[in-house]
Amino acid sequence: MVTQRGASAKIINEALDFLNERELEAKPLTWKNQLLLVTNRNPASTDVDRLKDIGVIERLVHPTQKAQLASREFQRENSVINTENVSIGSQKLVIIAGPCSVESRQQLLEVARAVKRLGASMLRGGAFKPRTSPYEFQGLGETALSLLAEARDETDLPVITEVLEPGKVDLVAKYADMLQVGARNMQNFPLLRAVGRSKKPVLLKRGMMATIDELLQAAEYILLEGNPNVVLCERGIRTFEKATRNTLDLAAVPVLRKQTHLPILVDPSHATGSRDLVAPMTKAAVSAGADGVMIEVHPNPENALSDSHQQLDLNEFARLMEELEPVAEAVGRRLR
Ligand code: PEP
Ligand code: MN
């Protein structure tokens, strides 16, 4: 329920008592300057009339979907998420570029300077890596976070990095402009709640075995903590197809667009797993209506400590940015 602007605390408390008496759990939540009372089920219509009479409710949102706050029904216009000098979900495409993992100061600064020059709007780089094998490179941790902050200070590119566990959210949020919840953690509910409490913008990646509906419900966990700054990311799902690392579900972009007001990005690097497929799928993602892409770029991909097959080198990234420009224009978007 969206409460009336200016409804007094006394009236809100009365409404909460009224709902509790009817065994409705109601959670007060501030959403973009409006107070919501989020209930676990719909109140009876006579009760709604009563709440309207006492001047509490402005609008009742029926939870026809499990992801209510994320739904188009709840908010008709697209959300634009701002982080530092970047708006995600506007006409200008957001290109997030950078290495899979932060490996050294030199590596990170070289990529950061290059992708900035070539028109990227944000820098990515893994500090805590969710590796399939415990023997693989796990990331430089806090050292990587401070290198990301240094790269941001030099280039003015806001930085995004993954947080793997609830206990590290505050640490990562101290350095990063945007928090990433990786595919493997899409349904780590304590982590979703923790990034929700942090109020930093969050990039939520679709789990490799998750449906679109489950992605939206995972986003709802973050929104319900009072953090409206959620961006969704399609990064491929696991199917029987082995020619690509994952199967990029591009239809997810227009499907999500219909169902949610949240911005939608695509990660063609993890979706395909091969550098030669990144450019065509980036163009396809933009054509499908994505608000931007996240692309892995490394100065020397062959020697990368993680995901060496899919990272673009600096020349490949430069070529992709050139080729993307007319595609962006064709769908009414800007790249720069
Ligand atoms: C990443 O972007 O660094 C990553 C590990 O991606 P995903 O969670 O999509 O596998
Ligand atoms: Mn990677």
Mean pLDDT, to the nearest integer, of 105-114? Answer: 98
**Residue 64: what pLDDT?**
59
Q: How would residue 35 be classed by pLDDT, with cut points 50, 70 and 90?
A: confident
Residues pairing with 232 in the sheet: 204, 264
- Residue 70 Cα to ligand 1 midpoint, Å, equals 22
> Which pLDDT band holds residue 160 (cuts at 50, 70, 90)?
very high
306 Cα–ligand 2 center, Å: 6
The atom number, within ligand 1, closest to the CA of 233 reads 9
pLDDT at 19 (0 to 100): 87
Q: What is 2-59's CATH number?
A: 3.30.70
**pLDDT score recorded for residue 47:** 85
What confidence tens digit (pLDDT) does each residue in 1-24 have? 777 777 788 888 888 888 888 888
**In this predicted structure, what is the pLDDT of residue 27?**
83
Q: How far apart are CA 123 and CA 134, in angstroms?
A: 26
Cα 5 from Cα 130, distance rounded (Å): 44
CB atoms closer than 10 angstroms to residue 105: 14
- Do the domains at 2-59 and 81-330 have one common CATH topology? no
Distance CA 122, CA 201 (A): 13
Could you tell me the distance, in angstroms and rounded to a whole number, from the CA of residue 32 to the centre of ligand 1? 29
**C-alpha 307 – ligand 2 centre gap (Å):** 5
pLDDT tier at 41, thresholds 50, 70, 90: confident
According to CATH, the superfamily of the domain at 81-330 is Aldolase class I (3.20.20.70)
pLDDT band at residue 311 under the 50/70/90 scheme: very high
- 226-243 pLDDT tens trace: 999 999 999 999 999 999
Summarize pLDDT for 116-154 with one digit per residue, the tens: 999 999 999 999 999 999 999 999 999 999 999 999 999
Q: Which of 78, 11, 21 is nearest to 44 (CA)?
A: 21
The whole-model pTM stands at 0.95
Q: CB 205: neighbour CB atoms within 10 A?
A: 26
Band of residue 50 on the pLDDT scale cut at 50, 70, 90: confident
Of 180, 203, 205, 215, the residue with max ligand 1 atoms within 8 A of its CB, to mutate for a pocket test, comes to 205
Q: Which ligand is nearest to the CA of 124?
A: 1
Sign of the four-CA dihedral 108, 112, 118, 123: positive
Beta bridge partners of 234: 266
Query: Which residues neighbour 69 within 8 Å (Cβ) at sequence distance 6 or greater?
Result: 31, 36, 38, 75, 220, 223, 224, 228
- For 257-293, what is each residue's pLDDT tens digit? 999 999 999 999 999 999 999 999 999 999 999 999 9
pLDDT for residue 63 is more than 70: no
Alpha-carbon torsion (208, 115, 84, 194), positive or negative: positive
**pLDDT exceeds cutoff 70 at 62:** no
Cα–Cα distance, 40 to 318 (Å, whole number): 50
* Domain boundaries defined on the chain: 2-59, 81-330
